Amino acid sequence: MDEDTQTDDRDNRTEATQGETALGSNAWRTDGGDTESSGYAESDGDPGHTDTGGDDSAADSPDGGAEEIPDDGSTTPVDLHAYSGDAEGSADTPTDSADTPTDSAADPSGRSDPEHATDDTSTRATPDDRSTDSPDPPEESADPDRDPVTAEDIDIEETIGVDIDAPTESGEAGDLGLDEVVLDDDESQGLFDDLLSGEPIFENKEVLRPSYTPHELPHRNEQINQMATILVSALRGETPSNILIYGKTGTGKTASAKFVSQELESTSKKYDVPCEVEYINCEVTDTQYRVLAQLANKFIEKNREFIESKLDELEDLRSRARGNETTLSDTDFETVDAVDARIEQLEADREEMDAVPMTGWPTDRVYSTFFDAVDYEERVVVIMLDEIDKLVEKSGDDTLYNLSRMNSELVNSRISIMGISNDLKFTDFLDPRVKSSLGEEEIVFPPYDANQLRDILQHRANVAFKPDALTDDVIPLCAAFAAQEHGDARRALDLLRTAGELAERGQADAVEEAHVRKAQDKIELDRVVEVVRTLPTQSKIVLFSTILLEKNGVHNVNTGEVFNIYKRLCEEIDADVLTQRRVTDLISELDMLGIVNAVVVSKGRYGRTKEISLSVPIEETEAVLLSDSRLGDIETAQPFVQARFDN
């Protein structure tokens, strides 16, 4: 390279820098500012080595060159990045897109001639081929009328060589991530699309849930009126009598009690009488500590709400009284200082009300906290203890004794207890003092008959299902199934809901008799089928041995007989034979699951053994066992058993 050439290059760089300052840096960018154009590829000191970067030169790409500059004698645009010196030797080989004569100089559109296009290295000039004089800038480096490139115009084979070091839209170099490619498939079906395509049968399925409290309870008016006459004294500010409610499962005890409680609270608000009902399920909250802690926290929360409302009223009164003390004439306060003292007292009370943790405190401290919380303001409280027999079984009658004796110590409030139980004899285990005070009033809920269940189901179905979603024989059949067992309304509602779900899953237009019968089988066998199906193989063989013995007329099967059949079945399916002691353990596990009933009996001088009998239906259980791939191969098991008895 001679001295004149180097002087011209330095002059061009100086003029280019001044031109960029005048025109703005955006004039030297490519479309989107992602890739800079250069007449030369970067060289690592080897003139023969060129890095194409997977793209043609700026002159070869209509979108890759610099913007068109009018040929008015101004500075020739150059690529400043070519002089950044990022690669070794780049300072010795300064380039710009205008210094490189290419095929686009002859094509005004800037597109390369496919007949002359080879690879990138052949179309670019080498350092030895550069001209000392800069040629005129191309007439047009980009076609403004050209349509934008779309995804359909991209050739995958041509884009394979994309520069992995080129910056992406996020400004980071690297490969194009999959999250940048959007697959738009509006016609794809999701997992639940087919299930949602059918017309639903239910209008409001929650009406058939046991937790739903209806606005009307058919055939329970007598019991509801009896409870109302007892609790009406609470609306007069008096202490209601304690109530014990008995009845079998599904006879409407809890639903009726909740219905009366809602009516009691709504009426108390209407007449501005402080009356509250607190419900506790003793099946879950089954200890004295938990019952007292839950009650204490409920009343602490209500007391805080009461204090907040009082503070708002007093602060408003104080702000008005400071401007005019005559506003205190109709209140219990004579001066503003009295209002301030009451506000401070309420704030102190609020700070002292700490919630009771669910464990960790002494029981007497929990009781005193509950006592203070319930007696903080004037009110009548009805505590509804559902499944009260569970509380007595778990923690004795101490809780009932304390609750029933609180009224003698309370000053502002009064407490009444409403106990609900399906055990008619649980009071036999109570202390006589607790029994006398707790059972002041007793209400018995008899089971429903078929006609009453039909009315209940019809009343719920009118709200739960869409019109004409039930055939005429569905509700009578559900009522008959529930009434022939024990008159359980909850069971009848579950049966109707399950039948509706089966019809909806099958995308049927209405619930029919077949759906009810299928729901009956499903409710009966769901648990047994699931437990038997998930048993280990050895447990299935033991259970299958017991079934074969009972099917052949052997009752009260002992362990030895089961073990003999068990060994034959293991040989038939080529399974490992366990010891008799291990088989006895498997029988105990089946007994624990409720599948068999195993009782240890003494044979006197011959020792003790277990007498085993099935607790599940034989035919259905056998069908589940034979659905197993290994047990399904047993074809000659019946002759084995029969041959044993013949011998």
9-18, 342-351, 530-539, 577-586: least confidently modelled range: 9-18
Contact criterion met (CB below 8 Å) for 65 and 142: yes
Query: Hey, is 255 helix, strand or coil?
Result: helix
Which residues make up the CATH 3.40.50.300 domain(s) of the chain?
A: 221-296+366-445
How many CA atoms are closer than 13 Å to the CA of 242, on its beta-carbon side?
21
Position 238 pLDDT exceeds 60: yes
Which amino acid is present at 31? D
Burial of 170 (0-12, 13-18, 19+ CB in 10 A): exposed
**Stretch(es) of the chain classified as CATH 1.10.8.60:** 450-528
User: What pLDDT, in 10s, does the model give residues 150-190?
Assistant: 545 545 444 444 444 454 444 444 454 444 444 444 555 67
The answer to whether the beta carbons of residues 548 and 637 sit under 8 Å apart is yes
Q: Does pLDDT of 64 surpass 50?
A: no
Phi, psi of 338 (to 5 degrees): -65, -35
Q: Do the beta carbons of residue 264 and residue 234 sit within 8 Å?
A: yes
User: pLDDT tens for residues 96-155?
Assistant: 444 444 443 444 444 444 444 444 444 444 444 444 444 454 444 445 555 555 545 545
35 versus 256: the higher-pLDDT residue is 256
Please write the tens of the pLDDT for every residue from 186-210: 555 677 777 777 778 898 999 998 7
Q: Are strands 275-281 and 379-386 parallel, antiparallel or unpaired?
A: parallel
| Greater pLDDT, 33 or 382 | 382
**Is residue 16's pLDDT more than 60?**
no
Rounded mean pLDDT of 351-361? 89
Residue 172, pLDDT score: 47
SS3 470: strand
* CATH architecture entry for 450-528: Orthogonal Bundle (1.10)
What tokens does 12 get? 């061009």
User: Residue range 355-383: average pLDDT?
Assistant: 92
Query: Do 621 and 590 contact (CB within 8 A), yes or no?
Result: no
Inform me whether the pLDDT recorded for 21 exceeds 70. no
pTM of the model: 0.56
Pairing of strands 596-602, 608-614: antiparallel
Which of 8-12, 41-45, 509-513 is least confident? 41-45
At residue 188, the pLDDT reads 59
pLDDT bracket for residue 12 (50, 70, 90): low
Residue 88 reports pLDDT greater than 70? no
Range with lowest mean pLDDT among 48-52, 191-195, 245-249, 320-324: 48-52
What is the reported pLDDT for 169? 47
Give the C-alpha separation, 391 to 323, whole Å: 58
Backbone phi, psi, residue 169, to 5°: -65, -30
Q: Which of 191-205, 340-354, 487-501, 616-630 has the lowest mean pLDDT?
A: 191-205
Confidence of residue 369 (pLDDT cuts 50, 70, 90): very high
Q: Select from 104, 122, 17 the least CA-distant residue to 68.
A: 104
pLDDT above 60 (res 512):
yes
pLDDT value of position 417? 93
Q: Is the pLDDT of residue 52 over 80?
A: no
User: Does residue 384 carry a pLDDT above 60?
Assistant: yes
pLDDT, position 37: 39
Q: 304-354, pLDDT tens digit by residue?
A: 999 999 999 888 888 888 878 778 877 888 888 888 898 999 999 989 888
Q: Which two tokens stand for residue 128?
A: 């030895």
CA distance 285 to 570: 48
Residue with tokens 């550069």: 130
535-646: CATH, from 3.40.50.720, 1.10.357.10, 1.10.10.10, 3.40.50.300: 1.10.10.10
Residues of the chain above pLDDT 90, percent: 29
CATH number of 221-296+366-445: 3.40.50.300
Helices marked H in 556-611 — which ranges? 559-573, 580-593
**Between residues 211 and 167, the one the model is more confident about:** 211
Q: What does pLDDT average to over the chain?
A: 75
pLDDT for position 29: 43
pLDDT value at residue 245: 93
More reliable by pLDDT, 107 or 627: 627
Residue limits of CATH 1.10.10.10 in the chain: 535-646
Tokens 């739903």 belong to residue: 212
